């Protein structure tokens, strides 16, 4: 499928700010949160929410139809993987601006979502105070991360060290590939090997191999311990 996507540049948007607001699509499967977020965004006259979707299929259709200036996407979409959705949207619409809004600690996902094609990451607990600022930053062509995460990434690139247990936990998660992290999250949601294989379109043998690699990387002595760790991670 060869889809073309065009969005307004930051300069064009600034020039036409008085004529039209920037259009935003929300990809979020929690109706109450989505409603509150829409109200928050509409309170700023520079933005307009033009559509909402709760799953990957709806997201692709909506972006193709509305051609928004920016997409706000959650990583948790029921049993679907928001990270894979970001990759798919980026492949279909290369110029699409995406900002992730998630309940997960950004230390575990910020680098992954940037590699996948998003332009920023904001945690839901910060949304009320910072989401408008984050949207403006991404629409201006810049990357949005919290100050602490920017400092952490800078320290990492410059050879800085994180301390103790926190660093150990982050290093273990970073060691997982995107596919392994996806499977780890599904384990935490209670899915078994057969369910994970069917969902991802891979063999049960492949799922089992991934589990063993994840167990090793996460320093788990058994699959039971891995499941317990995955449940804690998924519910953070």
The predicted model gives 178-186 an average pLDDT of: 87
Q: What is the CATH number of the domain that holds 213?
A: 1.10.10.10
Residue where one domain finishes, among candidates 152, 186, 213: 152
pLDDT at 103: 84
Report, as an integer, the average pLDDT of 28-37. 91
Write out the two tokens for 176.
């997982």
Tens digits of residue pLDDT in 208-236: 999 999 999 888 888 888 888 888 776 65
Residue 4: is its pLDDT beyond 50? no
Domain co-membership, 100 together with 201? no
% residues pLDDT > 90 (the chain): 44
Q: What does the pLDDT read at residue 158? A: 52
Read off the pLDDT of residues 87-146 as tens digits, 9 standing for 90 and up.
Answer: 999 999 999 999 999 888 788 888 889 999 999 999 888 767 689 999 999 999 999 998
Alpha-carbon Rg for the chain, nearest whole angstrom, is 19
Residue 71 or residue 17, greater confidence: 71
Q: Mean pLDDT check: name the lowest of 52-61, 75-84, 167-176.
A: 167-176
218 and 117 together in one domain = no
Q: Indicate the pTM of the whole model.
A: 0.70
Of the candidates 124, 152, 180, which is a domain's last residue?
Answer: 152
* Residue 65 pLDDT: 97
Q: Rounded CA gap, 86 and 90, in Å?
A: 6
**pLDDT score at 172:** 74
pLDDT greater than 90 at residue 2:
no
Say whether both 129 and 28 belong to one domain.
Answer: yes
Q: 22-57: b or e for each residue (b if 16 or more CB lie within 10 Å)?
A: bbbbbbbbbeebbeebbeebeeeeebbbbbbbbebe
Average pLDDT, whole number, for the chain?
A: 83
Q: How far apart are CA 101 and CA 121, in angstroms?
A: 6
CATH number of the domain where residue 117 is located: 3.40.50.2300
**Residue 137 is part of which domain span?**
10-152
3-state secondary structure at position 117: coil
Round to the nearest angstrom and report the end-to-end CA distance of the chain.
37
Count of beta carbons in the 10 Å neighbourhood of residue 106: 20
pLDDT digits (tens, 9 = 90+) for 191-215: 899 998 988 889 999 999 999 999 9
109 shares a domain with 73: yes
Please check whether residues 145 and 69 belong to one and the same domain: yes
Query: Does residue 2 form part of some domain?
Result: no
Structure confidence at residue 156 as a pLDDT band (50, 70, 90): low
Q: How far apart are CA 24 and CA 174, in angstroms?
A: 31
Q: Is residue 4 part of a domain?
A: no
Cα angle 217, 223, 225 (rounded to 5 degrees) comes to 80
């Amino acid at each position: 499928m060869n889809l073309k996507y065009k969005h307004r540049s930051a300069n064009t948007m600034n020039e036409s700010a008085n004529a039209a607001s920037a259009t935003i699509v929300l990809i979020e499967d929690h109706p109450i949160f989505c409603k509150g977020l829409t109200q928050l965004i509409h309170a700023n006259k520079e933005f307009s929410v033009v559509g909402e979707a709760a799953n990957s299929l709806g997201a692709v259709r909506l972006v193709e139809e509305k051609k928004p200036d920016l997409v706000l996407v959650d990583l948790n979409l029921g049993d679907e993987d928001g990270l894979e959705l970001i990759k798919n949207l980026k492949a279909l619409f290369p110029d699409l601006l995406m900002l992730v809004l998630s309940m997960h600690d950004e230390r575990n996902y910020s680098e992954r979502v940037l590699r996948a094609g998003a332009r920023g990451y904001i945690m839901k607990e910060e949304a009320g105070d910072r989401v408008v600022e984050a949207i403006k930053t991404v629409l201006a062509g810049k990357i949005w991360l919290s100050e602490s995460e920017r400092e952490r990434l800078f320290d990492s690139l410059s050879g800085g060290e994180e301390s103790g247990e926190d660093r150990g936990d982050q290093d273990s998660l970073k060691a997982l590939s995107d596919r392994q992290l996806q499977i780890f999250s599904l384990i935490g949601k209670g899915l078994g090997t057969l369910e994970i294989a069917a969902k991802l379109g891979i063999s049960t043998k492949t799922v089992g191999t991934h589990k063993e690699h994840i167990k090793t990387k996460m320093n788990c002595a058994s699959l039971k311990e891995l499941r317990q760790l995955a449940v804690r991670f998924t519910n953070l």
